[in-house]
Every structure is written in structure tokens, then in C-alpha cells.
Amino acid sequence: MSGRFVAAVDGVSTLGRLFLSASGGLGERFRAALTVPEGQRAAMAVLRLVKPHLTLKANLVACYEGEGTLLVTRAADVAEVLAREADFAVVYGPRMRALTGGRDFFLGMQDGETYRRDTAAMAAITDPDDLVEVLAMARHEAAAAVEAAAGPTGSGEIDLPPALSARIPALMVQRWFGVTGGLPVEQLIADATAMFHYLFSDLGAEARVTDAALAAAARVNAAIDASRATAGPDTLLARACARGAAGDPAFDAEGVRTQIIGILIGAIPTLSKAACHAIAELLRWPGALKGAERAARAGDEERVGDYLFEALRFAPVNPVIYRRAVADTRLGGTAVPKGRMVLAANLSAMHDGAVVDSPDQFRPGRPWEQYLLWGAGLHRCWGDRVNRAILPAMLLPLLARPGLRQVAPPDGEGTPFPRHYRLAFGMRGGAG
Ligand code: HEM
């Protein structure tokens, strides 16, 4: 309790500082304080102490039907919500079906025969050795991108998403998934991001987000169909088609499109945003940045990963994971009516002193189970092994350069997904 008390007092003071340093009226200042990870962590520290189950009349996730919102911030409650899949279900089904053209993708399903059939089918077309090739590509492309950005003196500037953090996952989609079909890398990045935005982050249910996502889905579905004939034998697409031809119902023509677009949507904006967040957060911890740079220069990807995942604990890609109550139920002492949107705050859980030692300290190499970076339970990220390996592989060459610094903060051009993040390295003022 005393740890939670101290964290809450610190939280109040952080919120006050962020509020005062923002500009605009009251509402604008609140919004500014609560849209940055530091402010979200501070507000959640206060809630963990004074209101660990916060009920709001409004449904904060307007793009999916729901009756009010319950925000839970303690680690034990977050774990319980994600574990009780039968009571707190995923909500993404309708939007997922709008993108696939009608078929359900397993992230939109509750546990059951079809969920198990489709996830087993996906497991059957993936080979653990696939990751070896993916990582070799990521290392090569990342080194080349940083080399290309460096001038003759070794100093330079790089715009992280287009040059590296979105580009490499897009190349993974082309080469490992097998989706080319006339879609250039830049369009693939834009389309995957538009669809991801629509599915997971369109909290205000904006028409422009829907329009962009449906146009993107039409292009990507056509590209998947067009890639069927050309996908190499070691691609997920070719393996899926082969199993479909052999009668696997998960991979009939519609099924192939659905499974491939489902994993494609999850792969590009997530990894890119994670890379941007990890670097931006590391730059706030000069001692940690030095440690990460040392590990990078020693070529130690695992140790680089320790720093990146600890940075993401402070600024994860998503601060909450949302679910909806299937029927009237309870969470601890709180009654949860059917239809209530339940926000499980993974950011808060990773800073709950009840389960994490010295949560406000930057300590690379914490026990892996403490990192709730890509969900938990039934819907835990399908790409978790990929994420853990590819993020350090993508970022090592950049971190190995001396003097990494920010030229401009990540810029999503009005979206929650950085399209630009300009960084410099090497001698100050020396871009070549
Ligand atoms: C750092 C990068 C990533 C982050 C932060 C991330 C985050 C997440 C989260 C939070 C979930 C659970 C959603 C929920 O429970 O509501 C999830 C599920 C999923 N992710 Fe990721 N993801 C990442 C990368 C990837 C990649 C690279 C792929 C594909 C190669 C992928 C494919 C999926 C799929 C298919 C699911 C659904 C799993 C299921 O329903 O069983 N993700 N991800």
C-alpha cells in the first residue's frame, strides 16, 4: 500500500507539471497531459490507489458497441480480465469482417472450434526456421539503411519509419508472407496502417478512418489474390494455398485471404510504432542509452533487446487492451453489466509496485513475464517471437552509432502511428 501511495503522490505532481507546461484551455491541457505515456502512467498510478475500478458512463471505444466503460489499472485485475476470455470478449469482429469481406479472423473470435481450427492451421504453415531468414533480412536491411544515411564522416540523419522501422516489417510481409501483387512497399505500409487504425485505434469512430481502411482493404485483398500465382514455396501464402488445395477449410479461397490479411495488419504499424517508442523513450534515459549503445557495439542483440523492452514498458504501443462483458458478471467487488467496455491497462500493470520491483526505475533485463507488451491469454500476439527477435535486430545498427539524438519528435501527421521520426547520429552539425 505504501508503494502505491508514493507512486500516486508522484503521479499527482507529474500530472500537475504536464498540465502547467501544456498550452491552451483546461480541456486542451488535460488532453495534452493524458495523451503522452508519462501522463498516462501518472494518472494510472493515482487510479491504482484511489479508484482501481473506474466506471465511466461513456463508452470510450466508440467504434464498437458498448455500455459505459470500466477501466482497471491494478496488475491482478488486468491479468484477470485478459484470462477470463469467456466473460470478457474481444470486440473486433464486425470491423475485422468489413476488412476481410465477410469472414471472421481469429483475433475477432472467442475461443471455440473455429478459433482453434484457424490458429492450428496458421501454426501448421509456420516453421520456426522461418525466423532465421526474416532476421537475416532485417539485420541486412537495417545496416544498409543506417549506412546509407551516414555521410563520409559517419554522421547523418535518418527518418526511422520510411527508412527502417516500417520498411523492414513491410519487406517481411512481402518476402515471408509472400504478398507482393503489385503493391509497392510505401503503399503496403500506408494500407496496413490505415486498417490497423480502423480496427484498434479509431476510438472516435471517424468516417475518414473507415473510408481509408476500406480502400486499403480492397487494395490489399486484391494484392493477396494476385500474389497467389507468384508466391515462392517458402512463403506463408504458398503454404496456405497448398493446404487449401488439399482441402483444409481454414485455407479455402476466402480463408487464405482472411488469415493473410489478418496477420499482415498486425505486423507493420505495430513493429514500427514500437521501434519509434523504444528509441524515443531510451533518449529520455541517458544512462540507459549508453548501455544500449555499448551492447549494440558489441553486437549483442539480446542485451539490446533488454533495453528496448524496458523502454517499451514505459511507453508501450498500446496502453490498454479492451474487451466487452458478455453477460452480467463481477470483477472482484465490482458488478460489471453485460455490454460494458472493459479497458485492461497493461501500461499500468507493468508499473504496479505490487508485482514489479522499483517500477519507476529503468532496469533492463527484468523477468520477461513482467512485460505485458503484446497482450496475454488466448489472444496473446501471434507475432510475439518475431517481435522479441526483430526489434533488436532492426535497431542494433542505429544504436551502434555514437551520438544518437532526436531531430524532431515522432509525427503521425494526425494519426497515432508515427509516419516520420527524424533522428541524427555522429558529430553534431555534421550530416556528412
Ligand atoms: C511490437 C509489435 C507488436 C505489438 C505491440 C503487438 C500487439 C498485440 C496485442 C496487444 C495483441 C492482443 C490484442 C488483444 O488481446 O486484444 C496482439 C495480437 C495479435 N498480433 Fe500482435 N503485436 C505486434 C506485432 C505483431 C506481428 C509482427 C504480427 C504478425 C507477424 C502480429 C499479429 C498478431 C495477431 C494475428 C494477433 C491475434 C492473436 C490471436 O487472436 O490469437 N502482431 N498483438
Give residue-wise pLDDT tens across range 229-242: 999 999 999 999 99
**Is the residue at 430 inside a domain?**
no
Query: Is 264 near ligand 1, meaning CB less than 6 Å away?
Result: no
**Is the residue at 41 inside a domain?**
yes
- Three-state DSSP class for residue 296: helix
pLDDT score, position 152:
86
User: Are residues 130 and 217 both part of a single domain?
Assistant: yes
> For 364-388, what is the mean pLDDT?
97
In the reported structure, the alpha carbon of residue 401 is separated from the centroid of ligand 1 by a whole-number distance in angstroms of 30
Query: Is 270 near ligand 1, meaning CB less than 6 Å away?
Result: yes
CATH number at residue 140: 1.10.630.10
User: Are residues 162 and 279 both part of a single domain?
Assistant: yes
**Is the residue at 336 inside a domain?**
yes
User: Are residues 22 and 152 both part of a single domain?
Assistant: no
In the reported structure, the alpha carbon of residue 259 is separated from the centroid of ligand 1 by a whole-number distance in angstroms of 13
Distance CA 72, CA 320 (A): 9
Mutate to test the pocket of ligand 1, among 63, 82, 260, 270 (most ligand atoms within 8 A of CB): 270
User: Are residues 24 and 164 both part of a single domain?
Assistant: no
Give residue-wise pLDDT tens across range 158-210: 999 999 999 999 999 999 999 998 899 999 999 999 999 999 999 989 999 99
pLDDT score, position 429:
62
Query: Is 179 near ligand 1, meaning CB less than 6 Å away?
Result: no
pLDDT band at 100 (very low <50, low <70, confident <90, very high): very high
In the reported structure, the alpha carbon of residue 73 is separated from the centroid of ligand 1 by a whole-number distance in angstroms of 21
User: Are residues 10 and 96 both part of a single domain?
Assistant: no
In the reported structure, the alpha carbon of residue 13 is separated from the centroid of ligand 1 by a whole-number distance in angstroms of 34
**Is the residue at 432 inside a domain?**
no
Query: Is 262 near ligand 1, meaning CB less than 6 Å away?
Result: yes
- B/e letters for 254-271, b = 16+ CB within 10 Å, e = fewer, are ebbbbbbbbbbbbbbbbb
Strands 53-56 and 69-72, by their bridges, are: antiparallel
User: Are residues 43 and 113 both part of a single domain?
Assistant: no
Query: Is 90 near ligand 1, meaning CB less than 6 Å away?
Result: yes
- B/e letters for 6-30, b = 16+ CB within 10 Å, e = fewer, are ebbeebeebbeebeeebeeeeeebb
Give residue-wise pLDDT tens across range 338-366: 999 999 999 999 999 999 999 999 999 99
Q: 16, 31, 50 — which closes off a domain?
A: 50
**Atom in ligand 1 nearest the alpha carbon of residue 82:** 15
- Three-state DSSP class for residue 130: helix
**Atom in ligand 1 nearest the alpha carbon of residue 105:** 40
Nearest CA to ligand 1 atom 3: 270
Query: Is 106 near ligand 1, meaning CB less than 6 Å away?
Result: yes
User: Are residues 420 and 382 both part of a single domain?
Assistant: yes
**Is the residue at 155 inside a domain?**
yes
Q: 50, 65, 80 — which closes off a domain?
A: 50
User: Are residues 176 and 55 both part of a single domain?
Assistant: yes
Query: Is 198 near ligand 1, meaning CB less than 6 Å away?
Result: no
Give residue-wise pLDDT tens across range 11-46: 999 999 999 999 999 999 999 999 999 999 999 999
In the reported structure, the alpha carbon of residue 47 is separated from the centroid of ligand 1 by a whole-number distance in angstroms of 27
User: Are residues 152 and 256 both part of a single domain?
Assistant: yes
User: Are residues 34 and 62 both part of a single domain?
Assistant: no
Query: Is 109 near ligand 1, meaning CB less than 6 Å away?
Result: no
Q: 50, 67, 90 — which closes off a domain?
A: 50
**Is the residue at 417 inside a domain?**
yes
**Atom in ligand 1 nearest the alpha carbon of residue 200:** 16
What pTM was computed for the model? 0.96
Is pLDDT above 80 for 428?
A: no
pLDDT score, position 295:
98
Is pLDDT above 70 for 432?
A: no
CA 134 to chain centroid, in Å, comes to 19
**Atom in ligand 1 nearest the alpha carbon of residue 373:** 5
Residues in the chain: 432
Give residue-wise pLDDT tens across range 229-279: 999 999 999 999 999 999 999 999 999 999 999 999 999 999 999 999 999
pLDDT score, position 334:
97
pLDDT score, position 427:
80
User: Are residues 248 and 359 both part of a single domain?
Assistant: yes
In the reported structure, the alpha carbon of residue 353 is separated from the centroid of ligand 1 by a whole-number distance in angstroms of 26
What is the number of domains present in the chain?
2
Is pLDDT above 70 for 1?
A: no
Query: Is 381 near ligand 1, meaning CB less than 6 Å away?
Result: yes
Sequence-separated (6 or more) residues with CB below 8 Å from residue 176: 130, 133, 134, 235, 236
The answer to whether the beta carbons of residues 388 and 134 sit under 8 Å apart is no
User: Are residues 42 and 77 both part of a single domain?
Assistant: no
Distance CA 406, CA 403 (A): 10
In the reported structure, the alpha carbon of residue 224 is separated from the centroid of ligand 1 by a whole-number distance in angstroms of 20
**Is the residue at 373 inside a domain?**
yes
Higher pLDDT, 429 or 3: 3
Q: Residue 227: which of 206, 203, 201, 256 has the closest Cα?
A: 256
Query: Is 324 near ligand 1, meaning CB less than 6 Å away?
Result: no
**Is the residue at 358 inside a domain?**
yes
Q: Average pLDDT, whole number, for the chain?
A: 96
Give the residue numbers spanning the domain of 340: 51-425
